[in-house]
Chains A and B, each alone.
Chain A
């Protein structure tokens, strides 16, 4: 366990002016991205990574985490005022947020959304800190057998949970694994799938891959939708005296907020589920347990509170497997791994041993980000309400420019542009045909680690499966993986049986 002085200096780092400025910038940018319907979190992080090249590793990661958190809070604004969620995870917020705003109480709705977001985020951040450290100290003792087993388990779990179809999830994961093996073989030094390109020797460069599949392809999707849907105008904030949040009203939503936080944190900690699942689960739970469920969908403040608290709680909770095991469970966590890699840090339990100060500074920075989110949301209410009206034909070209500029900043040159365009086309079709994105990205990111640990396990054990009897943790995860596979396959067959008669 690290000494007390580490905690102290970590907080000192997080509270320095430089750090607060960077986090403020991140949260503010995230908030704006969250508000604008055409932009989502993954796009924002992907194009922001190049912006962080010239920052210190701590500043860069704090900036990206702030950005990630900001989007979750900002997305409520467009859900409430526009009836279009800024992030898909705020779709549940529309259900009660928009009716409430239409009834002349947009300000109240926004404030409930904000407070629920901040409380959900803050509590989940504290949970992350409390859970990740003991988790990491256990994970530090894991050898190649345990790591290989856990990584395979996580991939299967994500493939099964993230998308609609398990087969499609496995296909997306398989594609990620193939791309993850490109480059030099760690044992023999043989070149794999490099096709003579020196640039591919170290593997497919991560930045062009994520900018292509996540950001640029998303803009193509947006363009496609823009042709059909020219957008609508938002509800304006009025000077209505009755339109403000009163303590008595907020008090009634508090139990819902705490419950939503708990649901969001649980969903977030499991890899692959993501914030949309969290917010809808929380909304459903709030509605079911309410004495008067009829008011839901007609502007009940508890509906907003349930959805937003869970939505925001998912983000910090999804960093638990990241910092505890080094496994990213969501797209934004996978992008953070990429950012860590670019800044030369291997994220995971080893951070606790080798860079405890960095780790605790990041945690402190996350708390700072929660508080800044409250301030930004509270005082920026009016401005953000205006931003919802920014049309797509302004947003899309700017993002495309930033995508391509980001590649050039990193110095990938023409090769990088080719990779970006190639992957943007791949990403476009993955989205169109509903292949799981998280599975693809996480598989790509963890493959080098998985491959090395698996090969070590095979060599060390002399290819003897019996080694698992001496390794109960690894054996446990292998069994769990098999159970999962059978279960997912079973439900897949059931679904197919059900859907076939309908097709006829």
Chain B
């Protein structure tokens, strides 16, 4: 009896192992789709396309890039949650879409709805300003903004709007907040001086050498690589860790060995000179390899922090 059941278990596990190894051998058995929740030409897209190329070489299947912009990356994720494509479709995106997104808008997902394959890059977003402004650091800026009610700020995401609302409340600022669409919409406003300061996801890094877009504060967990003089929010006395991670995500139902296969390939990609070049030289963000569990823990903590701020503000303004 015992032997029989043991045998049964062995057989079943054996069969499972075989079937999963068959699956693993077959994976990927067809072209993959990398869904990017941002428009083509943005920094996520530029980087994603190179990553897709490198991945496709290691996987032996084409990796097609699909742009599904909208709602700060949420449109792409809403579709991913329901995907039954077993890892053939995955999202390359910014962690903000899973951490803050669900808090701001009704979504069918939250931070725990996905399997994080790996984090490959640390975000370098920042609060930026224009070149010919009467202030050059955060302290001077606060002084200016307090003296000039109606100082204008260009917002791109519900997240940075929350951040600014929080800072404005703490410092007693009266701001005019204008919506813009992405870095391409923000840049002309800052360069022309029409707007006093703005959120920037990564666009500012391209202006690091010309100095046309100085950084007032780093929105990463550490100081920015290209602007080491700008302090982090924590250094400035705000209890926020908004540090973004660029991650590859798959639906929860994806078989583990397929996630592992993708993670393996991502690890190789983070060592690939082309991916390093596009990330560190072009969009100026540091390449890292952060395994899936670590990413998940980090992001869960962020969500708790954001919830606390929202509570302090008495809900999200919209």
**Which residues of A come within 8 Å of B, CB atoms?**
140-141, 143-144, 183-184, 186-190, 198, 201-202, 343-346, 350, 354, 448, 452, 455-456, 459-460, 462
Contact = CB atoms under 8 A, between A and B. Distances in A.
A183 B69 CA distance: 12
Interface stretch (B123-131, B185-193, B219-227, B263-271): B185-193
A452 B186 CA distance: 12
Contacts of B152: 459-460
B96 interface: no
Given A202-B70, A346-B41, A144 B194 contact: yes
Contacts of B93: none
Given A202-B75, A456-B180, A460-B178, A141 B192 contact: yes
B194 A143 contact: yes
Contacts of A455: 178-179
B195 A201 contact: no
B78 interface: yes
Given A202-B69, A202-B70, A344-B45, A459 B178 contact: yes
Contacts of A144: 178, 189, 194
13 contacts: A140-B188, A144-B194, A183-B70, A186-B179, A189-B104, A189-B318, A198-B78, A201-B71, A344-B40, A346-B41, A448-B181, A452-B179, A452-B180
A294 to B, nearest CB: 57
B188 A184 contact: no
B158 A350 contact: no
Contacts of B178: 144, 455-456, 459-460
Given A189-B158, A344-B41, A459 B318 contact: no
Contact of A452 (B105, B150, B177, B185): B185
A350 B186 CA distance: 12
Interface in B29-61: 39-41, 45
Task: Please classify the interface of chain B as helix (H, G, I), strand (E, B), loop, or mixed, using the class held by over half of its residues.
Answer: mixed
Looking at A141, A188, A448, A460, the one whose CB has the most chain B CB atoms below 10 A away is A460
A343 B66 CA distance: 10
Contacts of B86: none
B18 to A, nearest CB: 35
Most buried by B among A189, A343, A345, A459: A189
A350 B178 CA distance: 20
A346 B67 CA distance: 14
Nearest to A349: B188
A460 B194 contact: yes
B40 A189 contact: no
A457 to B, nearest CB: 9
Give the most central of A184, A345, A455: most B CB within 10 Å.
Answer: A184
B176 interface: yes
Interface in B49-92: 67-71, 75, 78-79
B42 to A, nearest CB: 9
Describe A's contact surface by its main secondary structure. loop
Interface of B: 39-41, 45, 67-71, 75, 78-79, 104-105, 150, 152, 158, 176-181, 184-185, 188-189, 192, 194-195, 318
A346 B42 CA distance: 11
Nearest to B40: A344
Contacts, number: 69
B41 A143 contact: no
Given A198-B78, A201-B75, A344-B67, A143 B180 contact: no
A201 B150 CA distance: 31
B41 A460 contact: no
A201 B67 CA distance: 14
B158 A346 contact: no
A456 B189 CA distance: 10
The 9 closest A-B pairs by CB, nearest first: A344-B40, A202-B70, A187-B179, A143-B194, A186-B179, A456-B178, A188-B318, A459-B178, A143-B192
A183 B75 CA distance: 12
Contact of A184 (B45, B71, B79): B71
A354 B46 CA distance: 13
A198 B108 CA distance: 11
A186 B180 CA distance: 8
Nearest to A345: B41
Given A350-B184, A452-B185, 15 more contacts: A140-B188, A141-B192, A184-B70, A187-B179, A188-B318, A189-B71, A189-B104, A190-B318, A198-B78, A198-B79, A202-B68, A202-B70, A346-B41, A456-B178, A460-B194
B39 A344 contact: yes
Contacts of B189: 143-144, 456
Contact of A459 (B70, B75, B105, B176): B176
A460 B195 contact: yes
Contacts of B40: 343-345
A274 to B, nearest CB: 30
Q: Which of A198, A202, A354 has the most CB of B within 10 A?
A: A198
A346 B182 CA distance: 12
Contacts of B39: 344
Contact of A462 (B41, B78, B176, B179): B176
A49 to B, nearest CB: 15
A143 B188 contact: yes
A460 B179 CA distance: 10
A456 B179 CA distance: 7
A143 B178 CA distance: 13
A186 B156 CA distance: 9
Q: Which of B69, B75, B79, B104 has the most CB of A within 10 A?
A: B75
A212 B285 CA distance: 43
Contact of A346 (B184, B195, B318): B184
A190 B70 CA distance: 13
A318 to B, nearest CB: 24
Given A144-B194, A201-B75, A350 B70 contact: no
Contacts of B104: 189
A61 B302 CA distance: 43
A359 to B, nearest CB: 14
A140 B185 CA distance: 12
Contacts of B195: 460
A448 B185 CA distance: 12
A143 B194 CA distance: 7
A271 to B, nearest CB: 22
A126 B106 CA distance: 52
